[in-house]
Amino acid sequence: MKSQTYKLMFLALIFLDFACCYSQVLKGVVLNSDTKIGVPDAYIYSFDLEIGNSTNEKGNFEISQFPKYKSKILISAHGYEDQSMFISSDSIITILMEPKHAMLDEFVVATPTGKLQGENITYVTTIKLNESASINNNTIGEVLTNAPGVYVASVGRGISKPVIRGLSGNRVVTYLDGLRIENQQWGGDHGVGVTALGIDRFEIIKGPSSLLYGSDAIGGVLYFVEAQYAKKNTSKSFIETSFESNSLSNNTSIGKQFTKENSKFNFFYGSSLNADYSLPNGLRILDSRFVSQAFKTSYGYNKNRWKINVRYNFSKSIIGIPGHSHKDSIYTELFYTDKLDWRSTLPYQNITNNFINVENKFYFDKSYLTMQIGHTINSLKEFEEKVTIPGIDMLLNSSTLNLRYAYKFSSILELLSGVQGMYQRNTNGNNAEEILIPNSFTTDLGIYSILFAGNKKLKFQSGLRTDCRIINVDSRNFQKDFTGINYAVGGGYFTKSSIVRLNLSSGFRAPHTSEMIANGIHHGSFQYVVGDLDLMTENANQIDLMYEYSNQHLAIVFNPFYNQIKNFIYLQRQDSVIDSYPVYNYVQNEKVNMYGADLGVHYHPHFFHRLHIESSYSYLRAINSNNEFIDQIPPGKWMANIKIEFDEKEGFYFKNIVIRNNFILGQNEVAPNEIPSKGYNLLDFGINSVVKTKQNEINLNAGVKNILNCNYVDHLSNLKYLNIAGPGINYYIGIKFNIINK
Amino acid sequence: MKKVILGILAISAIGFTSCKKCSECHYEALDSSGMEVEVELGEHCGDDLKALESSGYQLSDGTFVDVHCHAH
């Protein structure tokens, strides 16, 4: 036994020794391609290694602790086109930067494959949070609403669930820097679980994506990426506050980011306070108020061939549930109030999240290994009739493991293999009035492998994955296991101006515990929910075609798709009522066919370089095997964005002016018991300005949302049956102080 | 730098500290004409509030009635 321990220690030492040696310094110079003069303050960054540095006044740079592993670096400088290249530390490089004529899209790396968006075979939509802040977005729900092809199912302003290609809840998986977020997402009134605090961007993968993201991802994936660390041996801080007139809301956040040699730190704190929102007629919707606070920190360290990131997130929200009444006669005006109040009132949700994520990455000459372990704790309490005794009190503990190994056989062939595991336990509080889902635990295990092949023009990928899920219920001595095999095959043809991608992918979703064993009142959705133990696994198969054309002034994207889901699970309203709540049973339909398309255009005219016109249109149709439409399918959405940008300078200047118009069509293709909805138009305006000094920067923004004070009821709003409209006209103002210490 | 980080931690700690919960409570009863009326019980806090909600309010005849409280 003792000798075995010594052997293990010896092996570990060899492994660490191997992992920690052989890194070098990456040196180079960045030059203007026309004049061959050095470009000062260009930023050279490896997304993969999360290290970077800026050039000096002569354009020279060096990055220490750069491993021999061939990593992709991105080079950006103000006034120049972004560039990317593969590089290893044993070379001294010269980078020629072309002065920018017009830039339609900046380089973005798609996680977790680490490939550039423009080279990825699977199309990934990336939304940078500071970009969408051209018009202030107060909640993560608002950010998602304004993303092309993404919809939000909401309960007031405080609760927002992402809807991708008509699917939401358990069918859309959320990741936060590789950590799978579990927050009772099966519930129609349980929101996204991630706050916008300290988030740099998020990526949307539409359609079944089980291969890389595990079971459940049959609708799509939302992948949030946290803010980058500060540049080497620098620090930056900010304090930001904004005010909105409609719900008299205030968002305030502060942050500090600094690096010292190989160590990197981020700290963020934010709070949000929102009163009941007001309608176009000036009255407010009772109990649509919410407050939330969040704190997050991350620590990164890299040395030679090893990188570690430790991330911790804490958030707490108290969210009112509007549209709730036990009165015999229910009418829309019952939920109106003329009083202004921020204080929580019944019913409300009290949600606390703790997320911790530890990621280790080891680089070898031709490969890398990622080991990620995480734990999420989600406490969900719904207070219905009593302020000290919750109606529902559930604690969800999820431990996750993610191992990924990538090996580059050559510049045209790479293999990515991995193991994903999760152990999840749901526990009900002793004090709760209702037990909707009994105490239970779920175990997930998946193994996958993907092969990437191809050159600059032609690329292919194919992969296979097998999954197993075991569900155990304590009180019923019940156990059931589900298995699934998934695939993804895709190819892409890449030229300077066009990209064609064709992907076939599958996904599987085992029934959630709630869908099988729920038997109780769900106050938040005003339903008595009954599960079914005989539910089978959902299986999805999608074909997705993407055509992308771009030149210096025009970019066009056309993305039709067809997704078929077998054994589709949904809630069906019954004729019965229990304890005055309508009964909903989980049932299955043989198959649902979903098809549609996204179309996007970005035009940047040669005669007026400051002008950007972006427009997108999304359409979706879903029909089941009984030839009936599916519940909660989003209507067509046409978005248009006109932005005029101005030159940067010292002192005060206007950065941009934005006009945004979202036209949501009416939805008449509805499920048998569902009500149709009317179309509506939301027009927004925003202006952003900057006060710039040598070290600091102050951002000022102001604008108006829903300028026309349009009275609308969104098709995906849980309040549509009560004919409760969305917010009316909304003025906002915000200020952000940025302090940068070099 | 230390001051900023300590400041963020201090603000977080203060922000996440919750204060004692108090609520106005009432129970429903029938008046002499048979109409349903709300009988106010005033403000209750902490353990007193919890006990009132879980056990109910004891009337003079010894019976317990359900109490409704409103969050603030």
Structural domains in chain A, sorted by start: 125-741 (2.40.170.20)
User: Which of A2-6, A442-446, B42-46 is predicted least confidently?
Assistant: A2-6
User: Which of A166-175, A410-419, A575-584, B7-16 is predicted least confidently?
Assistant: B7-16
DSSP, res A38 = B
**A13, pLDDT greater than 50:** no
Q: Extract the tokens encoding A362.
A: 């080891």
**Confidence grade of residue A405 (pLDDT, cut at 50, 70, 90):** very high
Q: Which is more confidently placed, A551 or A298?
A: A298
Averaged confidence pLDDT in chain A? 87
Query: A269–B12: do the CB atoms touch at under 8 Å?
Result: yes
Residue A527, pLDDT score: 79
- The counts of H helices and E strands in chain A are 5, 42
**A570, pLDDT greater than 50:** yes
Residues of A with CB under 8 A from a CB of B: 235, 237, 254-256, 258, 265, 267-269, 271, 293, 295, 314, 316, 343-346, 348, 383, 385-389
Using the Cβ of B72 and the Cβ atoms of chain A, whether some distance falls under 8 Å is answered with: yes
Residue A450, pLDDT score: 93
| Residue-level length of chain B | 72
Beta strands A172-176; A220-226: pairing state? parallel
Q: What is the pTM of this model?
A: 0.87
**A243, pLDDT greater than 90:** yes
**Confidence grade of residue A16 (pLDDT, cut at 50, 70, 90):** very low
Structure confidence by residue, pLDDT tens digits, A464-522: 999 999 999 887 788 999 999 999 999 999 998 999 999 999 988 999 888 998 888 77
Structure confidence by residue, pLDDT tens digits, A682-713: 999 999 999 998 778 999 999 999 999 999 99
**Confidence grade of residue A19 (pLDDT, cut at 50, 70, 90):** very low
Q: How far is residue A240's CA from residue A700's CA, in Å, rounded to a whole number?
A: 10
Query: A256–B71: do the CB atoms touch at under 8 Å?
Result: no
Q: Which amino acid is at A218?
A: I
Task: Please answer whether residues A219 and A168 qualify as being in contact, where contact means their C-beta atoms are separated by less than 8 angstroms.
Answer: yes
Query: B8–A316: do the CB atoms touch at under 8 Å?
Result: no
DSSP string, A570-622: EEEEEEEEETTEEEEEEEEEEEEEEEEEEEEEEE--TT-TTEEEEEEEEEEEE
Nearest residue, CB atoms, A293 vs list B5, B15, B70: B15
Q: Extract the tokens encoding A2.
A: 């003792």
**A18, pLDDT greater than 50:** no
**Confidence grade of residue A117 (pLDDT, cut at 50, 70, 90):** low
What burial letters (b/e) apply to A499-530, b meaning 16+ CB within 10 Å?
bebebebbbbbbbbbbbbbbebbbbbbbbbbb
Of A549, A562, A558, which is closest to residue A505 (Cα–Cα)? A562
Find where tokens 């000022």 sit.
A700
Contacts of B2 (CB under 8 A, 6+ apart): none
Q: How far is residue A71's CA from residue A86's CA, in Å, rounded to a whole number?
A: 5
Distance from CA of A382 to the nearest CA of B (A): 13
Residue A626, pLDDT score: 93
**Confidence grade of residue A102 (pLDDT, cut at 50, 70, 90):** very low
Structure confidence by residue, pLDDT tens digits, A129-187: 866 558 888 788 888 888 888 899 999 889 999 999 999 999 999 999 999 999 998 88
Structure confidence by residue, pLDDT tens digits, A294-328: 999 999 998 888 999 999 999 999 999 998 877 77
Task: Please answer whether residues A322 and A336 qualify as being in contact, where contact means their C-beta atoms are separated by less than 8 angstroms.
Answer: no
Q: How many CB pairs under 8 A join A and B?
A: 62
Q: How far is residue A152's CA from residue A192's CA, in Å, rounded to a whole number?
A: 10
Identify all chain B residues contacting A382, using CB atoms and an 8 Å cutoff: none
Mean pLDDT of A208-214: 83
**Confidence grade of residue A7 (pLDDT, cut at 50, 70, 90):** low
Domain ranges of chain B: 21-70
**A6, pLDDT greater than 60:** no
Task: Please answer whether residues A571 and A526 qualify as being in contact, where contact means their C-beta atoms are separated by less than 8 angstroms.
Answer: no
**A289, pLDDT greater than 50:** yes
User: Which of A106-115, A223-232, A540-549, B62-71 is predicted least confidently?
Assistant: A106-115
**Confidence grade of residue A106 (pLDDT, cut at 50, 70, 90):** very low
**Confidence grade of residue B38 (pLDDT, cut at 50, 70, 90):** confident
Identify all chain A residues contacting B13, using CB atoms and an 8 Å cutoff: none
Residue in A with minimal Cα distance to B18: A316
B46: Cα within 13 Å, side-chain hemisphere: 3
Residue A407, pLDDT score: 94
**A65, pLDDT greater than 50:** yes
Residue A596, pLDDT score: 95
Of A383, A323, A391, A392, which is closest to residue A184 (Cα–Cα)? A392
Three-state secondary-structure class, residue A99: strand
Residue B18, pLDDT score: 58
Q: Which is more confidently placed, A111 or A171?
A: A171
